[in-house]
A and B are shown apart, each in its own frame.
Chain A
Amino acid sequence: MNSENESISFDVLIVGAGPAGLSAAIRLKQQAKKLQMNLSVCVLEKASEVGGHIISGAIIESRVLSELFPDWENLGAPLYTKVAQEFFLFLTQASYFKLPIPTQFSNNGNYIISLGKLCRWLALQAESLGVEIFPGFPAAKLLYSSDGSVKGVVTADMGLDKKNNQTDHYQQGIEIYAKQVIFAEGCRGSLSKQIINKYKLDNQSEDQVYGLGLKELWEVQESNFEEGEIFHTVGWPLPADVYGGSFLYQLENNIISIGLVVGLDYKNTWLSPYDLFQQFKSHPYIQKIIKGGKRISYGARTLSEGGFQSLPKLTFPGGMLIGDSAGFLNVPKLKGTHMAMQSGVVAADALIQHFKGNVNLANKEVIGYGKQIKENWMWDELYRARNIKPAFSLGLKTGLLYSAFDSYVLRGMGVWTLKHKHVYLQRKGKTKKSISPEYDGIITFERLSSVYLSNIHHIEDQPCHLQLKDATKAISINYKQYASPEERYCPAGVYKIVKQPNAEVRLQIDAQNCLHCKACDIKDPSQNINWVVPEGGSGPNYAMM
C-alpha cells in the first residue's frame, strides 16, 4: 500500500466551482495578466462536471458579470430572459392577494437564468484564461502547516468499499498545496465548517441560520407560458411561525422554475418542507400555470439566511471564505449570486495586492479582503437587508409589517439591528402531528420519483458520507424524543426508520439518494450528523438548475 499521497502545488487553490469560486478564479487570472504576474490557479469541484451540483432560482443582477466581462453578451453568456413582469403575492389556501413591491426589491433589469448553465459558461472562460478546473475531485481533508496555517487540501479517495477497504480500483486522494486556499463551497461547506471552528471565525457574529430551498423545473403548455414573468409568494402553505416563501420564474422555451424556501429554524418536528412544497403546487394560482405541463427536474439545496449579523471573519492564515460559504446572501431579495461573485472579485483583488506586497509571504493572512469588503457596495446592501428576516421570527404578519416599514420608510437604515434567535426543534409531544400527505402523481409527487429526476450517480459500495458521530443517538434521541425529523426534512428520503417484527427499530441511511443539500448537517437536533464529501462525481447531475 502506498501511504504517501502524491502532491502538487499551485499559487491559489479554490474549493468549489460555483459562482463565487469561478469569479475569483477569473478575476485572479485577469489581474495577473494585467500585471504580468505568473499565477497558477486550480479549482476543485465535487460534481462530475461544473454546474452538476448547482441549484438556484435564479434571477440575477448582472452587475458583477459585467465587471468581469463587459462584453458578456457578445461572448455568449447564457442570460437570455429579462424580467418582464413581477408580482408579490400573499397566499391563502384557496386565494391570493397582491402585495406591493418595495423599490429596492424590484427585479427590473434583472435576468432569469439557469445558474448551472452560467457556471458552465464561466468555467469555459476561466479555462481559456488558464485556470485548471478539476470536476469530480472533492476536497475531502484540510492540511495545515506547522505554524497552524492552512497549507492545502487532500482530494477524496476513490475506490474504497463500504467498510473502508481498498478495492481493485482504489485511487488515493492527492495532496494539493497552495499559498492561499479560497473556500467557495457554498452554504454549509464541509471544509468551511471546520475552518470556521478551528479559527473561531464566528466568535464575534451571531449564529448562522439557514433555509432549505426545493425546486422543480416544469415544461408547461405554451398557452400557460408568459416569458419573463416572475412572482414570489408568502403565506400558505407555510405555518405563520415559519419563515419562507415561494418563487416562480418563467424562463424561455416554456420552461418555468418553481420553488419553495423554508427557514430551517422551524420548531415543529413534524414539519416536512418537501410536503409543503408539493402542497404549494396544488394552489389554484399555481395549478393554473403548471396543469398539463411536465416536470423535468427536481433538486434541493440549503442557503445561508443569517445575513449581515451572522457574517464570520473572512480571513485566516493561509486562506479565506467567499460566497455562501461565508454567508453572503441578501435574504429578503432571495439573491446570493451577485454577492457570491462580488466577494470572489474582492477576495481576488486583495489577494493579488497581498502577493505583490509580500514577496516572502511571511504574512499568510490576506486581511485586505476583510477590509475591502466593508468598503464595497455589497456591505451596504447586506446592512440594509439585515432586519427583515429576524423580524419574521415575531410571526408572518408582524414580519410583513416590519419589513414594509423598514423598506419603505427607513430604506433599511434604521439604527437598530434585530438579533437572530437561535431556535431549537421541539420534542415530539409538544407539537401537533400533521396528516400524511397524498400525492396525485400529476402535480404532486412522492420523494423517490422526484429524486429520480435529479440524475444521481452514486456508487453504493463506498463508505457512508453521512456520518453519525454517535450511532445510538439516531434512536435514543432522534427517534424517541423527536420522532426522527430527518425522515421529513431530508428532501431526498435518505433517512428511514425501519421497524421489523422481532427486531429493534433502526435508522436506515440510503446515502445513494443524497442531493448534497446539507440540511441534515444543519437540522439534526443533537448535531449528530456530519456530512462529508463522498467519492468524486457522486451526487446529482443537474442540467440546468
Chain B
Amino acid sequence: MSKRPWKNVIKEGFFKAVFGTAAVFSILAVVLIIVFLIYRGSPALQKIGFFDFVFNAEWMSDSRDTYASEVSGSYGILTMIAGSLYAAAGTVTVGGTLGFFTAVFLAKFCPKRIKKPLNQIINLLAGIPSVIYGFFGMRVVVPLLGVFSANGDGSGILAVGIVLGIMITPTVAALSGASIEAVDASYYEGAAALGASREQAVFKTVVPAAKSGIFASVVLGVGRAIGETMAVVMLAGNNAVFPSGLFSSFRTMTANIVLEMSYAGELQAGALAATGLVLTFFILVINLCFNALKGGKMAKKRTAAGRKANPFGRYFNRACQKTRFSASPLYGQNPPKEENYVNNKPAKHSNAAAIAAVGKYVSYAAAAAAVFALLAVVLFVLINGLPHVTGELLFGAFNYGGAPSIAASLLATAMLIFLTSLIAFPIGVFTAIFLAEYTVKGGKFVRLIRLTVETLGGIPSIVYGLFGMIFFCGILNMGTSIIAGCLTVSLMIIPTTVRGTEEALLAVPDSLREGSYALGGGRLTTVRRVVLPPALPGILAAVILGIGRMAAESAPVLFTMGASLKPTPTGYRSSGTTLAVALYALAREGAYVDEAYATACVLVVGVLTLNIISAALGARLQKKLSGGGGIKAQSK
C-alpha cells in the first residue's frame, strides 16, 4: 500500500499512449479521405455548379477540359444517381427476398442435422470476391438473359440485380437469421399455445418481433449494392443514360469512377472525385439508417455475464436484444393479431394458416435457390478453371502479347498482403484494445473514434481507390506502385480489423477482468495475460478475414497499383496487378478465357481457404471461453 511506483505508472502510460495513438490514426484517416475528396472535388463542383452536377442528366466528359478553359463537355450525374438506386432496388429485390426466406428456413424450418453445415456454407460464400461474381455474371447470367432480351444483350439492370442479389444473400441471410434466432422462445410458445400452427407462429409472431433486425440487414444490402463496383462494371453496360427497361444499359456512380479515372483530364478527374463525394454521402446516409435500425450506438455499459461470441457481432446482438423487449403481438400494448388465435376454430382450416403454409414452402424454395446459386458460382469457376491451372500459368515468365501467366500477379498479391498486414493489423488491433479496454469512462473522444471507425468501414472500396490515387499516388508522389496500393488497402482493412478484434475482446467476460484486478493486476497485465489469450483466436480470425479481403478487393488497387497485366514487380515502388485485378483485366479483354477461368479458380480457392481458417479460429474462441478446450499450463 505504498505510493504508486513510478516505473509501473510510466509503463502503463506508455502503452496507453501507443493504443491511443493508433486510435487517433483512425480519425486522421477519415478526415484525410473526406478532406482530399473535397479538395479535389470542390473546384470541379464550382466550375460545373453543384446543382448542375447533381441534377443534370447529361454526362459527356471531355478529358481536355481544365479549370481554366471553357467547359466543352457536360458533367451531370443524375443518370448515375438513378443508376445506383436502380441497381440497389434490383439487388434488394432479389437478394433481400432470397436472404430473408433463407434466414427463416435456417432459423425455423431447417432440420437440425443440416442446419450447421448449411449455415457454414452460406457464411463462407459471403467472402467470395466480387470480381468472381462479375465474371460469373458475364459468362453465365448475361448470355442466359440474352435469350429474352430484345437486342440479344442480356446485360443491364436485371443481370446486375440477379448477380448482386446472389452476392448479398449470405449477408442478408446471416443478419436476418441472427435477429430471428434472438427472438425469445416464449413468443413462439405463446402463439403455439393459442392454437397457431407452426408456420403461423413463425410468420405472424416471431418474424414481426425480429423485423427491425431484418430491415437493418436489407438496408445493409442496399449499402453494399450502391457501393459495389467491379461486378457492376462488368454487367451494367455502362451507358450514362436513364435505364428504360430490365435489359437497358445503365451506369452507376461507382462505375463512372472506374471507367474514366484512368484517363481523366483535370476537370474530369475533379468531377469523378465529386462523384465519389456524392457516393460517400449516400453511403453515410444509409449507414445512419442501418445504425438507427439496429438499435443505435453500441451501449457503453458492459454486462458481465453471458456475452456470446456471435459471428455477426455484438453490434447486431444489441439490435436483437432490443427487439426482444419491444412491443410484440403477444405481450405488447397492441394485441390486434391475437384475434386470429383466440377464436376457437381450429387454426389449420383458416385462410391465414394456408397463407402461412405457403410462406413455409417459399422459405424452402428460397433456401434451396440460394444455396444452389452460390454453389453454382463456385463450382462453375472450379470446373471451368481447374483444368487450366497449369504450371505455365502459375509460374511462366511474363510476356506482353503471349499467353498470360499470373506469376507476377501472385507475387504482387503476396507483396500487397505482406506490407498491408504490417501496417493495418497493428493499428487495427491497437485501436480495438484502446476502445475495448481503456475506455471505461466512455467519453466524447471514445465516441468520436468509434464513429469514425464505423464511418471508415462504410466507405465504398472504390472511394478508397480514388483517395489513394489522389493522395498516395498524386500528392505523395508515389505514382502507380505497390506501396501506394498497400497504403490504400490498409486504410480499408483497419476498420474491419478494429471491429473484429473489439468483438473478440468484448467476448471475454468482465468477471475475468475483475478477477485479475482484484489480484492486483494492473490494466496492462490484465489485458496481456487475461484478456488477450482467450481472445486470440478471435483476433486471428479477424486478421485472416482481413487478408482474404486484401486478396479479394480490386477497386482500391486498380488505380493505385496497376490495372492491366504487368511484368513481375521488382520492389514496392514498381507497379503490379493483384490476382483479382488480373481476373478483371482478363475477363474484360475476352481473349484469354481459359486463363481467366484458371485465375478465378486460384482466387476462389485462396480466398475460401482463408475464410475457412478464419471461421475455424472463430469457433475456437467460443470453445475456449465456454470451457471446452483444455489449455496447457506453461510451467510445471
- Please determine whether chains A and B interact with each other in the same assembly: no
Hey, which bits of chain B sit against chain A, CB under 8 A? Answer: none
